Chains A and B, each alone.
Chain A
Amino acid sequence: MANERLMPEMIQRYHDIIETVGPEFLKESLQTMHTIRAFEERAEQLFSLGRVHGTMHLSIGQEATAVGASSAMEDGDYLLNHHRGHGHCLAWGSDASRMMAEFMGKETGYCRGRGGSMHIADVESNNLGANGIVAGGVPLSVGVGLSIKMRKTDQVCLVIFGDGAANEGAFHEALNMASIWDLPIIFLCENNQYAMSMPMPKAFNVEKISTRATAYNIPGITVDGNDVLAVYEAVKTAADRARRGEGPSLVESVTYRYKGHSKSDKQAYRTREEVQDWQDNRDPIMRLSDLLVTAGITTQAEADSMRDTALKIIDDAVEFSENSASPDLASIAEGVYA
């Protein structure tokens, strides 16, 4: 029932922010979340059919974090993200067709088939790429922040990493450097509660990862990562602060992945009931859809039709990719050196 998923106080709480962002913003957010989910579901299906190889890390269930964060950023801002990054990339505005082509290792893919699922980047839109190394992109954000400061632009760098990354030394070095130099960075910890198999309570002696901001004297906030507006609001606040030259923030977005860590995960570390509970009661797409219908922004039929639109986008992406050529073997060593 809709009421169980969407409390009246939630509508009240978001009344103001809905007024600010407007109905189109919310509809676009829901559409993008549907597109992300359809993309990943199709990618998984193609993988099981053997039409995509390697591995992939699916973010199904985490779509609100990707969409809420990206929509709080401006054109010209920078994105660095992590291995579970398809959603971030689509939310940033990347083309599903060129992403799917990359999955299939095609020349038309964003990385000409050299990167695959884990390394999609779209440098032209300042998407500096997903990273296969936990916390690998976090120190890079310091350089991006320094560069922004030296070039005296009003850009901001959004760097997204998981809960596991917050236990890497690189995370701490980067937060400290960003703090002492007041760099325009948003450290967004997408806490999906498992670092591969390691549950967050076993890996942290703090309840909230955002409390680690205290150690670096920067703002830290934990939000419901399955609530697109909560993520939007927190990231927007951090972005505004960074743009005013007041330095970095740490935003923790608590969410949940429905699928395993990667394609080889048997998920022995959690119960089916736990996964089912998140799917039934806190699904980010269901929640935003309910909000739109309850608030009278769309009809149920309109909300449902977004799923069909998403499926069509993905059908086109698959067709584009399958019709694309593989890289020429003669080009194998291209791109090693500039």
Chain B
Amino acid sequence: MRELTYAEALREGLRQAMTTDPNVFVIGEDIGVYGGAFGVTAGLLSEFGEQRVIDTPISEAGIAGACIGAALTGMRPVGEIQFMDFVTLTMEQIVLQAAKVRFMFGGKASVPMVLRMPGGSGTGAAAQHSESLENWFVHVPGLKVVMPSSPYDAKGLLLAAIDDNNPVIFVEHKLLYKTKGHVPEEAYRLPLSQTNIVREGKHLTVVATSIMVNRALAAADELAKEGIELEIIDPRTLKPLDDAPIIESVKKTGRALIVHEAVEMGGFGGEIVARIAGGEAFDYLEAPVRRLAALDIPIPYNRELEHHTVPQTESIIVEARKLVQGAY
């Protein structure tokens, strides 16, 4: 089985999309000769040229606007925001333009664009380079939000996102770029809004996003030694959300833990809790639904403080064990 890193899988997806569709292009800061701050676009410039691998000035709102205008007029741009933190500089363009124009114009325009951005902490880059802001976008009708957790998902979801006729916020994770996994060579697509059951288990449903899927899997390996079986579910697309597999899983296990890196307050986990508690899964619950997420603080620089700000494998193990053993 061929293995690629998450970054290589994304690059292969971009290359395949650009090869088959002349309307696809990439645009962002330092994505050309530099190859992108995390190397995702390395080599694309020499393959596709400056017209389709466009290095921009440090103008994030301009990048977003360029994607929207191009998408409105027949292109399929893939923009890169160097760090997810910097997407804050584009919010007007994304929230008030990209997400709204189709609806405001009575459904007569479409904005087929992807905006890629790496989120997450764990690199010692402190509070302005470690944000997990995905839920900001989940709150905006008209946007789709995708968060791949593996190289296989990264490529398949990216190709599907590029095919999609809506603006897609594509959230990568810095710590995942170098992780390896099986990635087929062909240009396969993984449908958006299709929740993935990553690992089956019967004692506890763990809904995790992005890198937390990997930490939950590591926790599941440990807990399996104690006879505790976690069912790991990765929504992959946060919006529009396919919640049926989550509800079905909770009906089976009777317990749920939601794990994400963004802060707990106002986070995506609250939405999952509400969907579990507000519908048919409620009667099956044998314990309170719990969340594990970041403390309500900016990401600190100090290595130990940073580590303890967001969920880790150890904290997932502790919380999952307590839930299954009836601590709540």
Does A115 make an interface contact (CB < 8 A)? yes
Contact for B75 among A133, A147, A177, CB less than 8 A:
A147
Q: Are A176 and B59 in contact (CB under 8 A)?
A: yes
* Distance to closest chain A CB from B296 (angstroms): 30
From 117 to 149 in chain A, residues with beta carbon under 8 angstroms from any chain B beta carbon are 119, 121, 123-124, 128-129, 131-133, 136-149
**Inter-chain contact B97/A336, CB cutoff 8 Å:** no
Contact B109–A128 (Cβ < 8 Å)? yes
Query: Which A residues lie within 8 Å of B43 (CB)?
Result: none
Q: Knowing A150-B75, A174-B65, A180-B57, say if A109 contacts B106 (CB, 8 Å).
A: yes
A interface footprint on B88-108 (CB within 8 Å = 1, 0 otherwise): 000011001100011111111
Taking the complex as formed, is B270 at the interface, i.e. its CB lies under 8 A from any CB of chain A?
A: no
A residues at B contact (CB < 8 Å): 78, 80, 109-115, 119, 121, 123-124, 128-129, 131-133, 136-151, 157, 169-170, 173-174, 176-177, 180, 334-338
Distance in Å: Cβ of B49 to nearest Cβ of chain A: 11
Chain B min CB distance to A161 (Å): 13
User: 4 additional contacts, CB 8 Å, given A139-B66, A146-B75?
Assistant: A112-B107, A147-B73, A150-B52, A177-B62
Least distance between B186 CB and chain A CB atoms (Å): 26
Asked, given contacts A139-B93, A170-B62, A176-B59, whether A144 binds B69 with beta carbons under 8 Å apart, the answer is yes
Cβ–Cβ contact A139 & B106, under 8 A: no
* Shortest distance between the CB of A124 and any CB in chain B (Å): 8
Chain B contacts of A177 at CB under 8 A?
56-57, 59, 62, 66
From B51, B66, B106, B142, A142 is in contact (CB under 8 Å) with B66
Q: Are B72 and A139 in contact (CB under 8 A)?
A: no
Do B109 and A336 have beta carbons less than 8 Å apart?
A: no
Contact B73 A142 (CB under 8 A): no
Give the A-B contact count at a CB cut-off of 8 A.
154
Question: Closest CB-CB distance, A75 to chain B, in whole Å?
Answer: 15
9 pairs of residues in contact across A and B, judged by CB atoms under 8 Å: A114-B106, A128-B72, A136-B97, A139-B65, A140-B72, A143-B69, A147-B75, A150-B23, A336-B142
Shortest distance from the beta carbon of A101 to any chain B beta carbon, whole Å = 11
A174 to chain B: closest residue by CB: B62
* B64 contacts chain A at the CB level, 8 A cutoff: yes
Q: Is the CB of A140 within 8 A of B69?
A: yes
On whether A147 and B69 interact (CB within 8 A), knowing A112-B107, A136-B92, A173-B62, the answer reads yes
**By the criterion CB–CB under 8 Å, are A141 and B103 in contact?**
no
In the complex, the answer to whether A146 meets B66 with C-beta atoms within 8 Å is: yes
Closest to A113 in B: B106
- Residue of A123, A177, A334, A337 most packed against chain B (CB within 10 A): A337
Q: How far is the CA of A121 from the CA of B105 in the complex (A)?
A: 6
List residues of chain B with CB within 8 A of the CB of A137.
Answer: 97
Give bound CA distance, A257 to B61, whole Å.
Answer: 30
**B103 to A336, Cβ gap below 8 A?**
yes
Greatest chain A CB density within 10 A among B64, B72, B75 is at B72
Complex Cα gap A173–B52 (Å): 20
B63 → chain A closest CB, angstroms:
8
* B102 and A335 contact, CB distance less than 8 A: yes
CB distance from B31 to the nearest CB of A (A): 15
CA A112 to CA B102, docked complex, whole Å: 11
CA A264 to CA B249, docked complex, whole Å: 54
The yes or no answer to B281 lying at the interface (CB within 8 A) is: no
User: Which residues of B are found within 8 Å of A128, using beta-carbon distances?
Assistant: 69, 72-73, 109
- A170 / chain B contacts, CB cutoff of 8 Å: 61-62, 65, 92-93
B166 located at the interface, meaning its Cβ lies under 8 Å from any Cβ of chain A in the complex: yes
A259 CB to closest chain B CB (Å) equals: 24
Verify if B82 is at the interface (C-beta below 8 Å from A): no
Q: A111-B106, A150-B75, A174-B65 are in contact. Are A133 and B97 (CB under 8 A)?
A: yes
- CB contacts (< 8 Å) of B77 on chain A: these are 143
Whole-angstrom distance from the CB of A120 to the nearest CB of chain B? 9
CB distance A337 to B240 under 8 Å? yes
Asked if B119 CB lies within 8 Å of chain A CBs, one says no
Q: Which residues of chain A come closer than 8 Å to B106, judged between CB atoms?
A: 109-115, 335
Tell which of A111, A131, A147, A169 touches B108, judged by Cβ atoms closer than 8 Å: A111
> Which chain B residues border A337 with CB–CB below 8 Å?
102, 142, 144, 166, 240
Given known contacts A136-B96, A139-B66, A337-B240, is B72 in contact with A119 (CB within 8 Å)? no
Smallest CB gap from A185: residue in B? B69
Q: Nearest Cβ distance between residue A85 and chain B, in whole angstroms?
A: 13
Shortest distance in angstroms between B47's beta carbon and chain A's nearest beta carbon?
16
What is the bound-complex CA distance between A133 and B101, given in angstroms? 12
- Contact among A115, A143, A149, A335 for B65, CB-based, below 8 A: A143
Separation of A119 and B67 alpha carbons in the complex (Å): 20
Please give, as numbers and ranges, the residues of chain A lying within 8 Å of B209 by CB-CB distance.
Answer: none
